[in-house]
Chain A
Amino acid sequence: MRTNHVLLLLLILSFLISCNSNNFEEHQIGDNLIDETSEVVLIDTLTIKSSTVILDSLITSRFNKAILGSYKDEFLGDVKTEYYGVLDFNNGFSKPTKEIGNVSVKVPIEFDSLVFMAYPNKEYFGDTLQVQRLLINRLTEELELPDNEDSFYSHSKFDYEETPLLDSEFFLKPVKQSQFDEVIDSHGKVNEGTNGVIDYYGKYYGEGIYLKMDSEEAISLGEEIVELVNTESDTVIEAKQWHRFIKGVVIRPGDNNTVMWQAPIGENKLRLRLYYHETDYTEAGKQKYHDFPIVQAGPNERLSFANYSSDRSTTPQQLDRLIEQENELNSDQTDNLTFIQGGIGLYTKIKIPYIENLKTLGLTGGVLSAELQIYPKDESYDDELFPLPKSNLILYTTKEDNKFRSVLPGPNNTALSFAFVRNPENKDESYYATDLTSYVNNILVNGQEYEDAILIGFQREGVGDTYDRLIIEDEPNSDFRIRLKVTYVIQR
């Protein structure tokens, strides 16, 4: 045999054997033989300190719906909104003209009535079976943004006339009243084929909320507008003048209201409607109207906003102790409960002070997963009246001052949010969970300061646009506590 042949033989052999078919398989044989040097344990006994804080400066303008009404919450007190809306003149209200022969003639009009109309969306929070009161007052102060700000906050306020334009009662039927039909709404006619023509002239046949404003103030406002039309005043033709004249309205609930609801704005469906008739010529006496919708924006800026307030003086956990943003009400002072509420700005704050103690276990270690679980207080919610939040619960880092620092990031550049883990058999064992793995890991790597904490609540950009609330149970040493379940590898 020649040397070259031998080398060839070696190469072929090595090639054949290199094709080891087992390369990517998992081999379980022998798994019992090895004394592992690491343990994987679940640790859910890390102390979590929880409290409730109230944040101010919640933005409540720039939203495309008006949140109206008030509800009585057994935990959070009487919660209400006063919605400050810009009243638009809908491209102006000019005196009607008629062609008589070849001459244009202006026709004077006469005021009939002023009506508040609203088409809610289907969302509501609270009890719809009770009668609701609705008040509308005319603002006496122009809506103006604070210096160097571009939004209003939940605590912003403006002066309004003492006597309301409207003070009326109604029943809220959010689903039924959300039905909008343009023809009916505009008192039009519809051709129903063989049934002939249906005419919605006269009475309002729609399903929306339709409240006649028959107070003296409303009548005199209506007459004043009609007068301005008849005199062809700039006030009803030029937007700036109009806004200076009307300034806006505030829509308020009565003290005993039981439900909060929503009316979309931007589609001109939340409005005051002025009915009038012409006094001369062919159409004299015929029902006509002009709509004054509530819109987001005034002449330049978006000014409509909601003012939220709540009376917490009779709450069982004395939540009226929350006044300033710096106040922190530990859960042991509130019957082991913490609270989250949109609009008012309640957030649950948690601190995990001893996370870094994990590092003292074994030689070293690492985190495989960390899940934060929170349990809604049993019986604090139901599917009908007081549902669990529909908005995402997200997390912010914060410090002693309870200011938002940064949002905890989740996958794909979204904010980390909680998922609801429903237990259909035992409803009270349902809980919210979120993955804090990278947060915990970050603390293990970079450490944390004493005041580092997490705020749990609604997204700061949208917290002024929701009435959702959540009562969280944090009963120490029970299954129903805020807990962090860390799967941790301990290296021996």
Chain B
Amino acid sequence: MKSLKSVGKICFLTVIGLIYISSNLSAQNNTSSPYSYYGYGELMTQDIINPTGMASLSYSDGSVLNINNPAALSQLDSLKFIFQFGMTAKFSKLNQGNNDDTFNDLNFSKLAFGFRAAPGYGVAVSLAPYTSLGYDITSRELVEGGTNYFTRSLKGTGGLNQLVLSNGFKITDNLSLGVNGIYIFGNNTRDESIIPQGGSSASYMNTTKLISTGLNFNVGAQYQFNFVDNSIVLGVKYQPQVGVRAKRKIEVLNIGSIKYNDTDRGSYDVPEIYGASLGLKKGKQLWIGADYLLEKWSETKKFEKENQLVDRNKFSLATIYKANDGYATKFFKKLTYRFGAFYDTGYMRVRDERITTKGFSFGVGMPLSRGKGMINMSFEFGQMGLTANNLVREDYGKINIELNLFENWFIKRKYH
């Protein structure tokens, strides 16, 4: 009976999750940044534990689905089924020159579940946004060679999502390996509409969609050096450059008729990625880690054309402190505290400037009663871009709420 009820609850949560995903694909954006025009859109943080953007390649925890390094899944607790559902609210202020503009975005950030399938083998399935488009820019321009104005609206919506099947294997007591099989789906929709000023009802609308239907993968490893009380964990990650299958659809509408309609089949590259991380575990309560990530975007192509992107370097630091030593009774002693900071060079260069992002975050994890799960909340503050050279700087705050539910599926109850 118990497990039936759990299945019902999981289904219910999955439905809610799907509703949010569908809203992600249509109405709402994960971002409103004009920089999401570039490349494949704004890269969403894929770190599995919040605070987002933290180091995590060398982190593992029995009740955390660290999909960022699938090797960590080998450390999952037995008998535990973990369900995760996360949402992110982003409040941003765009600054350019003397102007500013504010945006609020809310979206689903993650849906995942995982469990230990066998001793030393953890498996997880997750769904999370990979890139997101949300630019919305309107400008009034002069017709070239004329005296009339027109309004150009550029709008990016949608984004790419990834459905990841993660497997983590314990090879030896110290070494774990993992592999993520990734299906990237969704579409990057770019609308450009041009409307002449005054009078005329004629307009021009170009919709370009990158529809992804392809696969890629990455691999990770964790090696743990044990000392008396402490241990040092080395985490690495590698992703080869892979061309992901996609369709590109261009449709031009002008005065009620389709002027151009073309669907191209081809592929776009996901970059080669090298990631390395050093983590220090002190007892069971404290972990400190630092990650370095190199994504070689400069070599990627989209439909056989250079992407005009630059390599991305990301440095991040994090620390996680579990206040509960196992005997805590006070509320604050039961929480998990997390702090992190990062510096991300991004993958785009605009007007000869790198559009970097830096930020810091802190968060708390609150256990649900009777060990049924954990609510993680985090707050991130960051800045993307710069105002020099008439560029845009985005100051943002993010609230991330993540619900972790644990179900003890595999316990056989004994009746006395």
Please give the residue numbers on chain A whose beta carbons come within 8 Å of chain B beta carbons, in ascending order: 1-3, 6-7, 9-10, 13-14, 17-18, 20-22, 26-34, 36-44, 363-369, 435, 437-438, 441, 444-445, 485, 487, 489, 491
B375 touches which of A6, A34, A369 (Cβ 8 Å) = A6
A367 touches which of B136, B195, B254 (Cβ 8 Å) = B254
Check A1–B104 contact: CB distance below 8 A: no
Contact partners of B373 in chain A: CB under 8 A:
3
CA distance A412 to B137 in the complex (A): 34
> B391 at the A/B interface (Cβ < 8 Å)?
yes
Q: Shortest distance in angstroms between A15's beta carbon and chain B's nearest beta carbon?
A: 9
Check B87–A13 contact: CB distance below 8 A: yes
Q: Shortest distance in angstroms between A409's beta carbon and chain B's nearest beta carbon?
A: 14
> B132 at the A/B interface (Cβ < 8 Å)?
no
CA distance A30 to B389 in the complex (A): 12
Check B148–A487 contact: CB distance below 8 A: yes
A3-B373, A38-B194, A368-B150 known; A489-B254 Cβ under 8 A: yes
CA distance A3 to B85 in the complex (A): 12
For this complex, 18 residue pairs linking A to B, each with C-beta atoms less than 8 Å apart, are A1-B369, A10-B401, A13-B89, A14-B106, A17-B104, A28-B101, A37-B192, A38-B192, A41-B144, A42-B144, A44-B145, A364-B259, A366-B204, A366-B253, A369-B202, A489-B194, A489-B254, A491-B252
CA distance A93 to B369 in the complex (A): 117
> B257 at the A/B interface (Cβ < 8 Å)?
yes
> B112 at the A/B interface (Cβ < 8 Å)?
no
Check A18–B106 contact: CB distance below 8 A: yes
> B358 at the A/B interface (Cβ < 8 Å)?
no
CA distance A190 to B389 in the complex (A): 90
- Chain B residue with minimal CB distance to A41? B144
- Interface 1/0 per residue, B152-167 and A, CB below 8 Å: 1110000000000000
Check A363–B260 contact: CB distance below 8 A: yes
Please give the residue numbers on chain B whose beta carbons come within 8 Å of chain A beta carbons, in ascending order: 9, 16, 20, 28, 32, 34-35, 37, 87, 89, 94-96, 99-106, 135-139, 141, 143-146, 148, 150, 152-154, 192, 194-196, 200, 202-204, 206, 252-255, 257, 259-260, 350-351, 366, 368-369, 372-373, 375, 390-392, 399, 401, 403, 405
Chain B facing A: main interface SS: strand
- Chain A residue with minimal CB distance to B156? A34
CA distance A441 to B201 in the complex (A): 13
Check A40–B101 contact: CB distance below 8 A: no
- Chain A residue with minimal CB distance to B88? A17
Check B28–A18 contact: CB distance below 8 A: yes
A435 touches which of B95, B200, B369, B401 (Cβ 8 Å) = B200
Check B204–A368 contact: CB distance below 8 A: yes
Q: Shortest distance in angstroms between A24's beta carbon and chain B's nearest beta carbon?
A: 11
Contact partners of A489 in chain B: CB under 8 A:
194, 204, 254
Q: Shortest distance in angstroms between A7's beta carbon and chain B's nearest beta carbon?
A: 8
Chain A facing B: main interface SS: mixed
Q: Shortest distance in angstroms between B206's beta carbon and chain A's nearest beta carbon?
A: 6
CA distance A11 to B50 in the complex (A): 20
A1-B375, A489-B254 known; A367-B137 Cβ under 8 A: no
Check B257–A33 contact: CB distance below 8 A: no
A32-B390, A366-B259, A369-B196 known; A26-B138 Cβ under 8 A: yes
Q: Which 5 A-B pairs have the closest CB atoms?
A: A30-B34, A366-B254, A42-B146, A364-B260, A31-B139
Check B106–A487 contact: CB distance below 8 A: no
Check B194–A444 contact: CB distance below 8 A: no
Check A17–B255 contact: CB distance below 8 A: no
Check B350–A33 contact: CB distance below 8 A: yes
CA distance A316 to B152 in the complex (A): 51
Check A368–B202 contact: CB distance below 8 A: yes
- Chain B residue with minimal CB distance to A437? B202
A441 touches which of B16, B20, B139, B202 (Cβ 8 Å) = B202
CA distance A438 to B202 in the complex (A): 9
A17 touches which of B89, B252, B366, B403 (Cβ 8 Å) = B89
CA distance A3 to B194 in the complex (A): 49
Check A30–B94 contact: CB distance below 8 A: yes
- Greatest chain A CB density within 10 A among B144, B403, B405 is at B144
Check B260–A491 contact: CB distance below 8 A: yes
Contact partners of A485 in chain B: CB under 8 A:
146
CA distance A364 to B204 in the complex (A): 11
Check B392–A17 contact: CB distance below 8 A: no
Check A28–B144 contact: CB distance below 8 A: no
Check A29–B96 contact: CB distance below 8 A: yes
A38 touches which of B105, B145, B206, B351 (Cβ 8 Å) = B206
Check A29–B99 contact: CB distance below 8 A: yes
CA distance A38 to B392 in the complex (A): 22
B255 touches which of A6, A14, A30, A366 (Cβ 8 Å) = A366
Contact partners of A21 in chain B: CB under 8 A:
104
CA distance A5 to B254 in the complex (A): 51
CA distance A46 to B196 in the complex (A): 20
Q: A34-B135, A42-B143 are in contact. List 13 more A-B contacts (CB 8 A).
A: A6-B375, A10-B87, A14-B87, A27-B94, A28-B137, A29-B34, A29-B137, A34-B154, A36-B154, A40-B144, A42-B148, A43-B145, A441-B202
A27-B136, A41-B143 known; A367-B368 Cβ under 8 A: no
Contact partners of B153 in chain A: CB under 8 A:
26
Check A22–B103 contact: CB distance below 8 A: yes
CA distance A351 to B145 in the complex (A): 24
CA distance A28 to B391 in the complex (A): 13
Check A41–B145 contact: CB distance below 8 A: yes
Check A40–B154 contact: CB distance below 8 A: no
CA distance A487 to B135 in the complex (A): 26
Check B152–A36 contact: CB distance below 8 A: yes
- Chain B residue with minimal CB distance to A39? B144
CA distance A491 to B135 in the complex (A): 20
A13 touches which of B9, B259, B401 (Cβ 8 Å) = B401
Q: Shortest distance in angstroms between A380's beta carbon and chain B's nearest beta carbon?
A: 27
A29-B392, A33-B37, A40-B144 known; A3-B96 Cβ under 8 A: no
Check B202–A367 contact: CB distance below 8 A: yes
Q: Shortest distance in angstroms between B398's beta carbon and chain A's nearest beta carbon?
A: 11
CA distance A152 to B123 in the complex (A): 93
Q: Shortest distance in angstroms between B194's beta carbon and chain A's nearest beta carbon?
A: 6
Q: Shortest distance in angstroms between B107's beta carbon and chain A's nearest beta carbon?
A: 9
Contact partners of B203 in chain A: CB under 8 A:
368
- Greatest chain B CB density within 10 A among A7, A30, A40, A445 is at A30
B137 touches which of A3, A34, A37 (Cβ 8 Å) = A34
Contact partners of A441 in chain B: CB under 8 A:
202, 254-255, 257
- Greatest chain B CB density within 10 A among A38, A43, A435, A489 is at A489
Contact partners of B9 in chain A: CB under 8 A:
3
Q: Shortest distance in angstroms between A365's beta carbon and chain B's nearest beta carbon?
A: 7
Contact partners of B403 in chain A: CB under 8 A:
3, 6-7, 10
- Greatest chain A CB density within 10 A among B96, B143, B152, B260 is at B143
Q: Shortest distance in angstroms between A439's beta carbon and chain B's nearest beta carbon?
A: 11
- Chain A residue with minimal CB distance to B155? A27
Q: Shortest distance in angstroms between A436's beta carbon and chain B's nearest beta carbon?
A: 11
CA distance A1 to B405 in the complex (A): 12
Check A2–B368 contact: CB distance below 8 A: yes
CA distance A366 to B207 in the complex (A): 13
- Chain B residue with minimal CB distance to A18? B106
Check B138–A3 contact: CB distance below 8 A: no
Contact partners of A36 in chain B: CB under 8 A:
152, 154, 192
Check B106–A437 contact: CB distance below 8 A: no
Q: Shortest distance in angstroms between B28's beta carbon and chain A's nearest beta carbon?
A: 7
